Amino acid sequence: MDTQKLVKDCIREIPAAQRQLYDHFAESMLGVCYRYTKSIDDAEDVLQDGFVKVFRNLGQYKYEGELGGWIRRIMVTTALNFLKKNSRYNHDFSFDNENLHPVADDNPEVKMTGKELADLVRQLPIGYQTIFNLHAVEGFSHVEIGKMLGINEGTSRSQYARARALLISWIKKNDQVNFKTGVYAGK
Amino acid sequence: MPENEFEKKVSSEMQELRFKPSDNVWLRVEERIKTKKKRRVFVIIFLLAGLGLLGYWQRTNLFGEQKNEIAKTVQKDSPGEKQKEDNSQSTNEINNSSAIKQNTETTKPEETTNTTVKTADNKPTDDRSVIDKKDIVVSKNEIRKPTKNNEEAKGKTGSVKTKKDPKPEASIAIVSANSKTKSGVVDYTSKDLTANPETNAKQQDTNQAEVKPVENKIDSAKAVTGEQEKNATPKPDTLLKADPAKDPTPQIVKKDPSAKKWKWGFHITPGISSLNNNDISLGGTNFADASYQSPTTGSGSAAPPPVRQTPSDVKSGFALQVGAFAQRRLSSRTSLSAGLQYGYYSNILHVGNRRDSIISNQNSQFSVSLDRNASQVYNAGGSTMKHTNHYHFIELPFLFQWQLNKNKTKPFTWSAGFTVGQLIASNAIMYDTAFNGVYYENKSQLNKTQFSLSTGFSWTIANNKKMQWNLGPVANFHLTKLVDNPFESKRYLFFVGLRAGVLLNPKK
């Protein structure tokens, strides 16, 4: 795929190019959206909003770095905005300024698939889930996360530590029942 | 496992996470990214609609201009009024007679030429004699039009044409008198003609000879107007008849059983209405003004007119349309609707005191129609009373609707069509130049059957299984003149409103 030509064609609003770009990235980007939300429907809503932003702002893409990375960042930003605006999420999308660092030095062996891990992460409270995704999966530093969410760096660290500890405990227990009967069960 | 190995493992596993989105996602994305283009289309449609309105307005204005020209030649003054005018102006005539004589004798050819050009300006003036002569000169130009065209083809100027007139003396006499009155020296009076009997006789001949063809022109203009009206009315009929026949959508309709069904709906459309007054936009002499600029009589004993009140400005009033309609889909994006509605329109005039007493006067100088049917007479020109003309219509609207967007749940449509209306009641008053200008009620002069063009936009603001709520602006422009009144320029009703409608979805 000639990314440069594809992007230019999309900027010129050629429908075939737009469809090709969508087809190429839609599945992986829905995976991103899936991790940040609690249902596949919400994930698709985020994906839709994200691709609209992609097509409207494609002219700002400077061909620095991979196009997939640029689109991913847009999807993550769109997902965060969705969580802040959606009433089903924004009640729980608050972070206490506590700097408790639970001991979570365990590094258990993970034998789960990506889907199983994602479903496990989605069982976390929305604040934990978001920060865990941003730090562990996307690779953002706590400083960056603090800026993105408008919280302290310490809060981000604390929330992440709690999320990590909870997740590891679930993995250790391998409690599949707990996955399915969680408050925020998926689809 | 080393530190952060957990994060690496989780990250690598979850980066590979993929899900196939449903097809609806792309459809919605596609729809939203095309919205920008649609907005451009809407802007273009609005501009085109604006241009259409401008064109319609301009067309009616040109119509009014023709009417004004004709109006200048139609004189309605009665002998009794002229007697009063003569009496009131006799002193001025005596005082000015000698000056006129001198000026007439010293008129130069250059002045004649210049004056001839000036008389074509049609600038309003209070001086009756100037107006009278202007009318005559304008009429002569109109009569000579074919000759003028021939001469123009030969490359000759207007001043040369005047000199080549078969009645040069009469022409010069009229023009010179006009030039003097224009310069503010004196009025043109019968005394001048008495002083120069030959010129006077030729003047009378000229007046008679020139006015007659103008009257012929009036008749021909009326005939043309009648033809235009006749030609204008069948257009909507062809629109209605042609569309269902030409539309190839029956095949599509067959695919969707629900599309065959008629949908019923109701609407209420509050708004404003007024009369399209040609004179306002033209800024020229209106018909009523022109009609009292009467020419001199055969004796030439002309006098300045009495202060005659012109028609009141028409202000817009409240209007309302309420009715039911049936709508049938022609294709996925087009539909046809017909309905029955009640239309109320109004406009506001300012009139003077009531003068019903003059109706009983058998020797009144009213026009014939006023004598027979007039009631509710008011002085024109005053502002003591605000009179609201009410018009109550029963109307049959026929509209073609075209959906501009592709959203099936919330369509945005543009509609166009025509409406046939029957006036069922009205208290409208109309102008007459009699008694220095009056307004009176005469239902017989109202055109009770009205054809109008309709257009509008409609947004669907809510849509559920049972009904569909629409909102949007609409406009109606009447093609039939409202009043057959020779003392007022052609006026047409127009209506602008905000339509709120409910379309009932049929049960499947």
Question: With pLDDT > 70 as the criterion, what percentage of chain B qualifies?
Answer: 42
Touching A: B residues 10-29, CB under 8 Å? 10-11, 13-22, 24-26, 28-29
Whether B15 sits inside 8 A of A105 (CB atoms) is no
3-class DSSP state for residue B125?
A: coil
pLDDT at A29 over 50: yes
Whether B17 sits inside 8 A of A55 (CB atoms) is no
pLDDT digits (tens, 9 = 90+) for B369-412: 454 555 667 777 766 778 888 999 999 999 999 998 888 778 89
Strands of the B375-379 sheet, one edge to the other: B375-379, B438-441, B429-432
- Is A76 near chain B, with CB under 8 Å? no
Report how far apart, in Å, the C-alpha atoms of A30 and of each of A25, A39, A73, B260 are: 8, 11, 13, 41
Q: Taking residues B128-145, report their average pLDDT.
A: 40
pLDDT at A175 over 80: no
CB-closest option in A18, A31, A47 to B18 = A31
pLDDT of residue A181: 52
pLDDT digits (tens, 9 = 90+) for A101-149: 555 566 777 777 888 888 888 888 888 899 999 999 888 899 999 888 8
d(CA B29, nearest CA chain A) in Å? 6
Q: Taking residues B155-181, report their average pLDDT.
A: 40
pLDDT at B456 over 90: yes
**The two three-digit tokens of residue B405, written as one number:** 């967007």
CA nearest A43 in B: which residue? B21
Whether B29 sits inside 8 A of A22 (CB atoms) is yes
pLDDT digits (tens, 9 = 90+) for B205-218: 444 444 444 444 44
Query: Which architecture, in CATH terms, is A3-87?
Result: Orthogonal Bundle (1.10)
pLDDT of residue B505: 77
CA nearest B19 in A: which residue? A27
Q: Which of A32-36, A155-159, B114-118 has the weakest average pLDDT?
A: B114-118
pLDDT at A11 over 80: yes
Among A52, A72, A78, A128, the strongest candidate for a mutation testing the B interface, having the largest count of B CBs within 10 A, is A52
Closest CA to A139 of A51, A76, A91, A71: A76
- CA B294, chain centre distance (Å): 25
pLDDT of residue B175: 38
- Is A179 near chain B, with CB under 8 Å? no
pLDDT of residue B56: 67
Question: With pLDDT > 90 as the criterion, what percentage of chain B qualifies?
Answer: 17
Report how far apart, in Å, the C-alpha atoms of B499 and of each of B336, B453, B475 are: 17, 16, 10
Q: Which of A151-155, B48-52, B307-311 has the weakest average pLDDT?
A: B307-311
Among B87-96, B206-215, B259-268, the range with the most confident prediction by mean pLDDT is B259-268
Domain spanning B245-297+306-504: CATH 2.40.160.20: yes
pLDDT at B289 over 50: no
pLDDT digits (tens, 9 = 90+) for B215-253: 444 444 444 444 444 444 444 443 334 444 444 444 444
pLDDT of residue B31: 86
Global pTM value: 0.37
H-assigned helices in B196-310: 197-232, 234-246, 250-255, 257-260, 278-282, 287-291
What does B156-216 look like in DSSP terms, one character per residue?
A: --HHHHHHT-SSHHHHHHHHHHHHHHHTTS----HHHHHHSHHHHHHHHHHHHHHHHHHHH
pLDDT at B269 over 90: yes
Report which of residues A26 and A172 the model is more confident about.
A26
Per the prediction, chain B carries an average pLDDT of: 63
d(CA B7, nearest CA chain A) in Å? 5
d(CA A94, nearest CA chain B) in Å? 24
CB-closest option in A28, A52, A121 to B33 = A52
With beta carbons under 8 A apart, name residues in chain A contacting B17. Answer: 28, 31-32, 34-35, 114-115, 118
Among B61-70, B319-328, B428-437, the range with the most confident prediction by mean pLDDT is B319-328
Contact B384, B354 (CB under 8 A): no
Among A19-33, B1-15, B404-418, the range with the most confident prediction by mean pLDDT is A19-33
With beta carbons under 8 A apart, name residues in chain B contacting A114. Answer: 13-17
pLDDT digits (tens, 9 = 90+) for A61-108: 888 888 999 999 999 999 999 988 887 777 666 666 555 555 556 677
pLDDT of residue B354: 72
Q: Which of A62-76, A163-177, B320-334 has the weakest average pLDDT?
A: A163-177
Among B76-80, B155-159, B310-314, the range with the most confident prediction by mean pLDDT is B310-314
pLDDT of residue B485: 66
Closest CA to A7 of A75, A64, A45, A46: A64
B494 Cβ contact list (under 8 Å, min separation 6): B273, B274, B275, B276, B475, B476, B477, B478
CATH of domain A92-187: 1.10.10.10
Question: Where exactly are the structural domains of chain A?
Answer: 3-87, 92-187
